[in-house]
Every structure is written in structure tokens, then in C-alpha cells.
Structure 1
């Protein structure tokens, strides 16, 4: 049974994108959502030192000195939970819980921890739904577009959500800025693979471990929910926001991903004017100590951007209150990441020529491949050297409405999964065995992918040193094909790092200047990625 837990006393529901209940009764899909109480009335202890961050440096004016809401009975929480599920049209019997925070203790099982957390809840949710998944059916949308009176009524359409599209003719009020803490946006998801066979069936791969692509989908969905939760001002008539994934800054797998109960958690660590950095991690859950935070398996950082849904312009997000040195350090790391991304953009090979050291490398590569490429030369290409041009693999997918997000574009997590699975196939062919995923480097979502278009994925091994080196880089370029317009536009370029855990890899060899640029880009990302992975372990106190 899947359970979501969130701090700031929020209720979260089950998600078909992440799991389903193991109940024997009939199951129905409940979209990934979170509900949370109004945070603008949060009482701040003014005796403690306050640190304000974000675009609004005068955030002290946002502190509301009002009394906190009262403590409800446990049956009130259950009543609110049932009403929410009724609105979503669900007959799921899974447990939806509210928690006082990520450090909730437990006695004997995950179920006991969930019930204990629910009992300690201190406020009812205000009924808002945070989701990156659509809450209305596609057939109803088509019926409304064509003016058909036969469209069926969807109970979920009555839900007022901060992520809902703007309603035509409705007047919205200006969005208030509310001072938020990192804890306010904290959200966690429990994936009980050891006890829920139906859930495990959706994630297990042919080798008996978990599908990394499915986890990437979950991370993107979680980042969206966290972002909407931080940006919420607690009012239902505020101008709606559109929050999208601007970039996936980094995903690092720190240890092999086996079949065990997992906890995915995350919160906002940095805010700019309209941007938010989301830090997430995935941990093992011990059967003996379900409330204990076990070994960290994966860490990820996403950058989300808010837009006003009415004007399309950048929308200011809530500023952040930093309460201690740890939070100040996390916030500073976010500023450092932003500065490094600007520097990397300015020094990109598409803007500046290679460095002197890289030019020497290109010349050495030329001397190497020319002796193999010269028909008069008797030197044959070694078996452990592959031409970079011969490492290509492609796939085309139709973008269906089942994979859309709340904004009726294709869900970014789904694109990541498709790119990862193609990269994995290409990596497997390259090393003639099953590769191990290490990291996903920074990617930017340049353009949304419309429903009904074709997505062309082109993969290539762009960097592999060969010899005793085990790791290598795989690039996947995603192009949107619109047959009606006759256009082809690149929407994403993904950079994956894999390794051969058993032996060294073949060496890839470019033989054109364009291929040499791909080789250099892959080398840059591999070197920088190794540094970032080490910094992640050092700054966060994670074991290697």
C-alpha cells in the first residue's frame, strides 16, 4: 500500500503514476496530489533569529502574527479524506495520512507509522489539490471543445486547484506573497515494494530490480507537487499559476537500486523571483525501523519555474525563511548551482571555441583516426575502438493524451523515461552486456511537447575513454515532429552516464569536427559530473 506523508500538516493521496493500493476491492486511479492547510496564518517565533531569502528581501512584512488553527479530532481528518476521495471519484481503500513532519516515529510497521502520524496532525487541509497530472478526462475535454452535450460529468472538475487552468470569465485576485520555510514544502512518498506485489509489478524490470525510468517519472511528479505547494498562497480565488520543469540539474545514483521499501522525499531549497530549486532524495526503509531514515540511494535537483497562467509572464513565488545554518547552507548551494549553470552556458562549445588543451586533444584524435581511416594505411582499427558515428540508435513515439500533464502537454517525467530507456538500450549494445546507470546530467526543457505529435529520439555514445575506464556518456536528442506544420524542433538533449561494472569499455573515436565537439561535450560533462557527485556526498554527509 502506497502512502504519502507531508510536513506542514498536509494530506496527500495515492497516485497511479507511483503506485496503487493492494486492497482486494476494486481499484480506481487517484491522481498524484497533495492538500495542505493555509500557511499564511503560520505563527513565527520572533525570539529566534530570522533569515529571509528570495526575490523579496523585505519579507519581514509578510510575517502574520495570528493565532494558529486548532487541533481537530482524528475522525475529522478521516472525514476530510473521504470527501476528497469522493470528489476525485475514487473507491480506493488505500490510507491517506497527515504527518507532523519527516521525523515521525514508528513502532513496528509502516502502517503503524502512518496511523501515528495521522493522529498527531494539527490542522485540516483547506481542500486544494497540488498535481501535475490532469484531473479531467480527455474525452470530456474533446466533448467540450466540440460543443458536444454528451460529455460525461467528472466530479474532479469541481475541485479548485492552484494548478488548474484558468476558468474563462472568472475574475481572479492578485496572488499574495506568503513567507514559507523549507519544512512547509517538505513532501515524502512511501513505496512499499516488499509488501505490495501489485506496485512492484509496475516497477520491476527483466533483471529483477526496479526500473530507473519509472523512478524518474516519480521524481518529476514529486518536484511539481512540491513546487505548487510552496507557491500556494492559501486562497482559492488567486490568479492561477503554471509551474513547469525548467531543468533537471542532476540525478545521481549512489548505490544499486534493489527491491526494498523506499522513501522519496523533497522540499524547496532555493527560490529566485520565479524559480525554485527542488532537492529530492530516495532512501531505503528498514522493515524493523520503518520510521528510520536508511541509506540514501539517489539524490536529485530540479529547477521549476512559475508563470502567470493568464498572462504567460514570470510570476513571483513565495520568499523563503531560513531558520538555521543548515538551511542557509542549502540555500547557498542553490545560489552556487545557479551561478555554475550561467558559467557553463557562457562557455558552451556552441558559443566559444574549445580551450587550448581541448584543441590539442582534437589534434591527437585526428592523428589516431586518420591512420585507421586512410585506405593506403596498413594499420587496422582495433576491435576495442568504435567509430562514434556507428553508435547511433533511434526511436519514434506517438505522444498520446494518457501521458499529458495538467497543462495538456506531455509530462516531462515521461519524456525522461523514454530517453533513459533508449539510452539504456544503446549502452547495452555498446558494451554487449547490461550497463549500470550512474547519473543524469543537466537537461533543459526548451519547448513543451504537444499531444498528438511524434517524438523522435536519437541516441549516441559520445564519450568513452576505453581501456580500464568503465564509465561512458550517452546523449539522447529529443525532437518534436509536427506533420501538419512540417516542422522538426529539438525540445531536449539528455546526457546519461553509465558504467560497465565488470570490464572496461570500448573507446569511441570521432572522425569529423562536429563529432569531435560531441566528444568534448561528453568529456566535459563526465568530468564535471564526477566533481558534482563528490560534492553531493560531501555536503550532504552521504556515504559513497
Structure 2
């Protein structure tokens, strides 16, 4: 008799068969499901269940002769099965957060409390916001604390393979925090008007100023620092004590600037956002900085259009790069031994977008895309230099098109350029491009572009014979992209002083 036949005739499936239940919440039950249940014939007593240890093929103790069923009990009820005031109800808008980090979950809960009128869902036929409110940066400020020193599970969720904090996880949380801050700033406290749809447009910068450990608590905070007509810049910081000191001596470990745009939730068109009134000298400085950055980006986009969608590059520099690349292609034995073609540094991975990765609007969470791109960029740099890379900064991320559940998403990475102005701190620039591919329609569109900078430990650079390769373009497109990114990075460094 086959195993399936014996299973179907066993007492496990018989109505009324005695069972033992262990109430285990959530995924805690998963490790206990590793025991296989085999069935043997016993004389005159029908089939008997024997639990086998899959590691040593020995039977369990006689007290466990009967098979057990371990139910996975729900911790909260579906929002459709409980009333809005039920203590066990989790708001409908919060369900995607169940599959992300606990910090992202907490931030989405805070956002849901700001927009609690979303239950029941507001009618899109409601009027748009009539009067814009003037708010201060402090009005939108939100902070969240990571209790690493007291919460073992939280610490494990953020632990990397090198016993450090996972930067990709923090990127998810930064996107969630920025979205919650944007909602707080744009809220009009009116339950009649339809809510705005706020989406991440870009990441201007994420700069790591010092390493982040799991031995001290973290504080992540941020506020709106600049607003345009329908867009806003949100500046966030991560602070961590340098070694058990008081909160007043916390050091800024990371700075991030995100840009959000507001859309009318019914028409999808750009919608005006509340005004911002900076109060302190620091707030005024950050406001002017955000305004200047916005003007530079507009100017860069206009130049891009004027040049027929090609980046404006110096013709001589372009040809010089292509000449070097041609030597490496046509005469590899005579080329610089420390050179490599850009295309030879590329990596790729694919991902089918699942419902567990969606955000509160039902589309794929931008923070998840950032983490996926960061981890591919990290791997690309790791394979390129042969040493564990150290994250320096995100130079730029653009969210060009939304990504939906079910999309076939392809991430392609490559090293764009390397820089060795400081031999003890070489810089490696990595580009990651995300494509939404639809095989049924034979289409593929760029949804996101990501630019990361990494370095390596200074001790590794002192090893005898260690060198970081120079990468060269093989095509005009690669040469233009290299120069465009290099010039943009230099310009931002000059503007930041």
C-alpha cells in the first residue's frame, strides 16, 4: 500500500479520532513540523501511527504513539470579522505591516491612527481639501526607539551575517517613517475631505556617518524640512550612543533625505500640500537647502530633455573612455591588467512580487525594493573587490513607476566607476536598475534606479598586492551613464561643502 493510501485510511483522518493539541501562536509552530508521520500495520488493531525522528530514524517514546496535530492560532481577527471598536481588530490598512519589520509595523500603526477615518473607507467622491494649513517642521516630527539592549528578538531581526545592523532593514524603516511623517504633515483633520495619496518620489541621500551596532539602542527621528506645491522633503536621522553614554551625547550615525509627492486619490493628479513655516535658524537652513536641491534637479531634467534624453557629457572625456574600453575588448593581452569592462561586473536577480510585500496602498512597498536593491549592490561590490564591502551612502534613488503585486521584477546591477583619491578608502559606485517585465505583453519598463557607494576596510587596503580594479565602458550608453553619475556625485559633494 502506498504512503498516500495509508495516510488516507489512517486514524489521523478518521472523524472522532483522539487528538492532542498544542496551542502555539504564529510561526513558532514551524520548527515542530519537522517530524514525519509513518504508518505501520499492527496485528488486529488496525494502523498505528509512529512518530519518527528524521535525524536518527528512531521512534519516539511510547507515550507519543498517536499522531498530534499542531494548530497555528490567529493572534488577531480579520478586519472584516470584527467591528471597528473591537479590541482584537487590526485596522484594514495595517494588514500589510504584518509581513515587514516590527518597526515598520509600528510606524504604519501610527499612520493608521492619523488616518483612522479610513475605516470605514472614505468615499472618493468626498471633496478635496479646501484650505491649506501652515505647519512647522516640529508639527510633523516623529521618533521611534529600537530597544536593542532589552529586546533579544528585535536584535536578532536586525542582525547581519557580520554581527552588525542590517542596513537594508533600516532602509525599509526609513521609508515607513518618511511616509508617516508625510501623512502627519498633510493631514487636514477633516473627516469629510478625501485623503491624499502620498508616494515616495526619490531618495536624495542616505549617508552613513558611523557604523551602527546592536549593542546600543537606536533612535530614528525625522520631520518635513521643505515643501513645494505638491512635493516635500523629509530629513531623518539615526542616533546611537557612542558606548553607553547619556542620550544628550548621542551621535548622528545616519542621515537620510526622502522626497514625497502628493496625488489626488480620485484623479491621480498632483495635489497641493500644507505649507511649511520653519522657525529656528537650523530649520530655515534646511529649508533653503531643500529648495536649492529641487532647483538643481529641475535644471538637470531640462538639460536631459534639451539633449534629446541623452545626458550632457564632455565629448572628449566620452571618447577617451571608449578608447580605453576598446583596447580592453580588442587587445586584452596588451590592456591594463587592473582594468575590467563594466559589463563583466554585472549581477542580476528576479523576484515575483507577492502580497506580503505590499504597502498600505496595495502596491509593493518602496522600502522592500530598496532593501532588495541594496543587498544586490552589496553582493556586486563583494564579488568585485573580493573583500566585505562597507556601506558609505545612497547617492540617489528614483521611483519612476509603481510596482504591483504579481509583477515580474528584475534587478540588474553593475559597477559604474571606482575612485582611489584616498588609497586607504577607495570608493566603488554601484548602479542597480529595476525592470518590471510582463512576459504576456512582451514589455519591460524601468521602475526604479538606485545608486550606492561602498568602500572597504582600511586594513584590507594595506594588504600586499591589493588593488581595486578600474572599470571601463564598452558602449556609448555605459560611458554616458558613468560620466553622468560621476559628475552628479561631484556636484553634490561641492554643494554640501
Q: TM above 0.5, one fold?
A: yes
Kept after mapping to 1: 8 A contact 2:226/2:233: yes
Distance 1:529 1:333, change over 3 A: closer
Which residue is equivalent to 2:446?
Answer: 490
Which residue is equivalent to 1:115?
Answer: none
Q: Distance in 2 between matches of 1:392 and 1:265?
A: 35
Q: Distance in 1 between matches of 2:267 and 2:315?
A: 47
Which residue is equivalent to 1:388?
Answer: 342
Which residue is equivalent to 1:185?
Answer: 140
Question: SS at 2:296's partner residue?
Answer: helix
**Corresponding position: 1:414 with 2:373:** no
Residue correspondence of structure 1 range 509-528 to structure 2 within 5 A: 509-528=472-491
Distance 1:368 1:272, change over 3 A: closer
Question: SS at 2:292's partner residue?
Answer: helix
Which residue is equivalent to 1:308?
Answer: 264
Question: SS at 1:322's partner residue?
Answer: coil
Which residue is equivalent to 1:351?
Answer: 309
Which residue is equivalent to 1:276?
Answer: 232
Counterpart among 337, 342, 345 of residue 298 in structure 2: 342
Kept after mapping to 2: 8 A contact 1:240/1:310: no
Counterpart among 326, 330, 337 of residue 286 in structure 2: 330
Question: SS at 1:442's partner residue?
Answer: strand
Kept after mapping to 1: 8 A contact 2:206/2:257: yes
Residue correspondence of structure 1 range 179-218 to structure 2 within 5 A: 179-218=134-173
Question: SS at 1:305's partner residue?
Answer: strand
Q: Deviations over 1:188-218 (max 9, x none)?
A: 0101112211001111110000111100000
Structure 1, unaligned runs of 5 or more: 1-25, 31-82, 91-128, 140-155, 536-544
Deviation of 1:239 (Å): 1.6
Kept after mapping to 2: 8 A contact 1:175/1:239: no
**Corresponding position: 1:508 with 2:471:** yes
Residue correspondence of structure 1 range 462-473 to structure 2 within 5 A: 462-465=416-419, 468=423, 470-473=426-429
CA RMSD in angstroms, aligned pairs only: 3.3
Q: Distance in 2 between matches of 1:391 and 1:197?
A: 38
Q: Deviations over 1:276-320 (max 9, x none)?
A: 110101101467555425110110111111111122222211112
Counterpart among 252, 259, 270 of residue 296 in structure 1: 252
Q: Distance in 2 between matches of 1:162 and 1:310?
A: 17
Structure with a larger share of its residues in helix: 2
Distance 1:293 1:234, change over 3 A: farther
Q: Deviations over 1:35-84 (max 9, x none)?
A: xxxxxxxxxxxxxxxxxxxxxxxxxxxxxxxxxxxxxxxxxxxxxxxx99
Deviation of 1:337 (Å): 1.1
Kept after mapping to 2: 8 A contact 1:409/1:450: yes
Q: Deviations over 1:312-364 (max 9, x none)?
A: 22221111223233322221111111111112223347635644xx3322333
Residue correspondence of structure 1 range 109-508 to structure 2 within 5 A: 134-136=93-95, 161=116, 167-168=122-123, 171-172=126-127, 174-259=129-214, 260-285=216-241, 291-292=247-248, 294-348=250-304, 351=309, 354-355=312-313, 358-375=314-331, 379-382=334-337, 384-465=338-419, 468=423, 470-501=426-457, 502-503=460-461, 504-508=467-471
Q: Distance in 1 between matches of 2:346 and 2:290?
A: 35
Question: SS at 1:223's partner residue?
Answer: helix
Distance 1:173 1:333, change over 3 A: closer
Structure with a larger share of its residues in strand: 2
Q: Deviations over 1:135-158 (max 9, x none)?
A: 24799xxxxxxxxxxxxxxxx999
**Corresponding position: 1:89 with 2:89:** yes
Residue correspondence of structure 1 range 28-67 to structure 2 within 5 A: none
Aligned pairs, number: 397
Q: Distance in 2 between matches of 1:457 and 1:432?
A: 22
Q: Distance in 1 between matches of 2:212 and 2:140?
A: 26
Deviation of 1:373 (Å): 3.2
Q: Distance in 2 between matches of 1:157 and 1:194?
A: 28
Q: Distance in 2 between matches of 1:428 and 1:172?
A: 52
Kept after mapping to 2: 8 A contact 1:192/1:261: yes
Q: Deviations over 1:342-395 (max 9, x none)?
A: 12223347635644xx332233334433444335x862440x211111011000
Deviation of 1:510 (Å): 1.4
Larger Rg: 2
Question: SS at 2:116's partner residue?
Answer: coil
Deviation of 1:434 (Å): 0.5
Q: Distance in 2 between matches of 1:374 and 1:484?
A: 39
Distance 1:159 1:508, change over 3 A: closer
Kept after mapping to 2: 8 A contact 1:271/1:319: yes
